[in-house]
């Protein structure tokens, strides 16, 4: 008995091609999602590092006096904290193929991520050094990527006490003031948020007592 050996018809070939194509599209979409997830995870890791670094900077230098005579936490309260500028949100460019020399958003060459800190005189050193350091790692795409104006990079210090000149009153805190710090970083168009609250400083209030004389 003779049997005919038949090949694939055009319809069968087209169906097989469509099935294989759908599989490739799914794999490509998964690859793209995986790359995006890795990038987002890396940015969140860097954000965690930065908020911890800034909190350690403030706590570690809380006894440092500034040019105005205030302690560091008090100076940040007076100045309204720190706000990272993201108006020049673009990656650094490598100069002349040299990976050790980069250009920031303003066109200034910087050798490292801290290159804009520079040399600072002894007066008011703690405040100026921290300010320049934070600007170097906070602003634009210097360390954590920013995609839009929804990305937020701020440092705030809130002074809490019970006295009349206190910005935030709490009758339970009767000393000079409790300084509560907050570092906030919003990345990925503001969709991913990182907050860190910490006690930045605490000052005991001094009182003068009059002692009466006795016979």
DSSP character string of 81-93: -EE---TT----E
Q: Quick check: 210 pLDDT over 50? A: yes
- Burial code of 41-77, b = ≥16 C-beta within 10 A, e = fewer? eebbebbeebbeebbebbeebbebebeeebbbbbbbb
Across 77-81, 105-109, 195-199, the highest mean pLDDT is recorded for: 195-199
Token duo for residue 23: 């599989």
Q: Quick check: 80 pLDDT over 90? A: no
Confidence band, pLDDT 50/70/90 cuts, at residue 170: confident
Q: Which carries the bigger pLDDT value, residue 29 or residue 181?
A: 181
Question: Across residues 76-102, what is the average pLDDT?
Answer: 65
Q: Which carries the bigger pLDDT value, residue 94 or residue 201?
A: 201
Question: Across residues 144-148, what is the average pLDDT?
Answer: 79
Q: Quick check: 183 pLDDT over 80? A: yes
**Distances 41 to 13, 51, 105, 173 between C-alpha atoms, Å:** 42, 16, 24, 39
Mean of per-residue pLDDT scores for the chain? 75
Q: Quick check: 100 pLDDT over 50? A: no
Per-domain residue ranges of the chain? 10-85+124-136+145-203
User: How much is the pLDDT for 36?
Assistant: 78
Q: Which carries the bigger pLDDT value, residue 68 or residue 197?
A: 197
CB 144 within 8 A of CB 187: yes
Confidence band, pLDDT 50/70/90 cuts, at residue 167: confident
Q: Which carries the bigger pLDDT value, residue 118 or residue 130?
A: 130
Question: Across residues 53-78, what is the average pLDDT?
Answer: 82
Q: Which residues contact 28 (CB under 8 A, 6 or more apart)?
A: none
Q: Quick check: 126 pLDDT over 50? A: yes
User: How much is the pLDDT for 17?
Assistant: 84
User: How much is the pLDDT for 180?
Assistant: 92
């Amino acid at each position: 008995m003779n049997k005919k050996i038949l090949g694939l018809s055009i319809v069968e070939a087209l169906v097989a091609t469509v099935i294989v194509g759908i599989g490739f599209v799914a794999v490509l979409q998964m690859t793209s999602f995986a790359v995006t997830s890795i990038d987002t995870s890396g940015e969140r890791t860097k954000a965690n590092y930065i908020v911890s670094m800034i909190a350690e900077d403030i706590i570690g230098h809380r006894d440092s006096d500034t040019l105005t005579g205030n302690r560091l936490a008090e100076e940040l309260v007076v100045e309204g904290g720190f706000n990272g500028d993201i108006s020049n949100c673009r990656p650094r460019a490598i100069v002349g193929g040299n990976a050790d020399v980069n250009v920031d958003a303003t066109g200034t060459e910087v050798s490292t991520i801290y290159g804009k800190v520079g040399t600072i005189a002894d007066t008011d050193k703690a405040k100026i050094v921290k300010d320049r350091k934070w600007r170097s790692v906070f602003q634009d795409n210097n360390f954590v990527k920013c995609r839009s104006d929804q990305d937020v990079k701020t440092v705030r210090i809130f002074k809490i006490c019970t006295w009349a000149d206190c910005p935030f009153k709490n009758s339970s805190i009767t000393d000079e003031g409790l300084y509560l710090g907050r570092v906030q970083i919003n990345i990925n168009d503001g969709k991913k948020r990182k907050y860190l609250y910490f006690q930045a400083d605490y000052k005991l209030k001094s009182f003068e007592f009059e002692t009466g004389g006795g016979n």
